[in-house]
Amino acid sequence: MNHWREYSQILLAAILFYACGKSNSPVTPVPTPVVSHLSIIDVSHTRDNKVPTSFRFFINVSPTSDKAITVSYATSDGTAFSGTDYTTASGTLTIPASQTVGYVDVTISGDSLRQPDQVFYLTISSPVNATINGTGKATGTIQNSGTYYPSDSEGYFSPLTYSGYTLAWSDEFNDAAINTNIWNYDIGGSGWGNHELEYYTDSIANAYLSNGKLVIEARKETKGSNNYTSARLNTSGKKSIQYGRIDIRAKIPVSHGMWPALWMLGSNISTVGWPACGETDIMELVGSSPNRVVGSIHWAQANGSSGTYNNAYFLPSGDFSEQFHVFSVIWQMNYFQFIVDGIPYVTANNSSITSGTWPFNAPFFFIFNVAVGGDWPGPPDSSTVFPQRMFVDYVRVFQ
């Protein structure tokens, strides 16, 4: 009995010694696994008008992995379409161990078409040795900078010759770009004396040649303190004319708040100012009257204020945005006649001015522009869809 008690005490002491010894021994910590996270980055680039280019989507790895990472990827359409705008890409990407980044290249087709920017998507999925941050979906934005805008040529054509006249000068707009030996760009957004809302630029976003036509494009976009951009081209110091028959073939935007104009100012404006230099409005249209154009002359009255003599031409059907029309003036000494599609609708001569001096027996230069808003048309409203475009097929001067 005593031996059993002694044996039990020895056994208990051994158990306690073992337990105490184990609790005091160092504990080896279990390492926490390192998990790499994948993040795919959006891409935005300008598209080339002719040749294919590559969009590179970077996939960042954080932290790096001591093992190779694999991840599946695939493109999908947005407003850009596979086979037309980009080449489908799909497969498995391997990012070697210790690398901080991988990438996938997607080929973008060259295209000169004038169109809004487009998007497509690249999505990663099914990673091995990593996880994906967020949705794993990146956006590729194709910034379109093309200047080809398809337009028909339907409408009225003026004759190539007139009895008693010879073609003295023309711009048929068949070059690759606007001829800056002829045309200047007015720049700025100060309202231009009429509380206009646009900022005029020299950007190909606002003025360009396409399909044998000059296109002036008004856009809803911020430039400085202006919410719209457009273009205003002139020939001051490069091309002035005095007398003759002028034909301008154009298709005109007619939405509310638009104010397209084809007009002339006296070449002496820098010395005598406006209105003493004279102004000839071959065509003006305000969008609230889409079937009406106005031909006008303006001059300085005796008290210095602007005098106006004009009349309006109304289309018998439709509006001026539906097809091309030819806006003409016959300009002689002390005489103007304004014409639409061969139909005269207003005649002015020096006796039309009852106050001030007739300033029109002198050289004038051309101005083509599309204004947005202003005192006459008022601002655009919810019915106005941008961009708005004026197409000019040709300007011809016969003398």
The residues carrying an active-site annotation are 279, 284
3-state secondary structure of 368: strand
Degrees to nearest 5, angle at CA 282 with 280 and 286: 105
In terms of C-beta distances under 8 Å and separation of at least 24 residues, what long-range contacts does 341-345 make, across chains too? Answer: 341/156, 342/156, 342/158, 343/313, 345/295, 345/311, 345/312, 345/313
Which contiguous run of DSSP H or E holds residue 138?
strand 137-143
391 close to 151: Cβ distance less than 8 angstroms: yes
In Å, what is the CA distance from 359 to each residue of 215, 295, 318, 335? 31, 17, 36, 11
Closest residue by Cα to residue 206 from 196, 192, 194, 221: 221
Residues whose CB is less than 8 angstroms from the CB of residue 230 and which lie 6 or more positions away in sequence, other chains included = 198, 199, 200, 201, 206, 216, 217, 218, 219, 369, 370, 371, 372
Partnered with residue 293 across adjacent β-strands are 313
Phi-psi region of 91 (alpha: psi -120 to 50; beta: other; left: phi over 0): left
Residue 57 CA to chain centroid, in angstroms? 25
What does the CA dihedral 18, 19, 23, 29 come to, rounded to 10 degrees?
A: 80
In Å, what is the CA distance from 113 to each residue of 87, 211, 227, 267? 18, 11, 25, 37
Residue 117 CA to residue 163 CA, distance in Å, equals 49
DSSP state of 155: B
Cis peptide before 387 (omega within 30 of 0): yes
Nearest 5°: phi and psi at 345? -135, -10
In Å, what is the CA distance from 392 to each residue of 111, 150, 224, 303, 320? 23, 13, 28, 37, 13
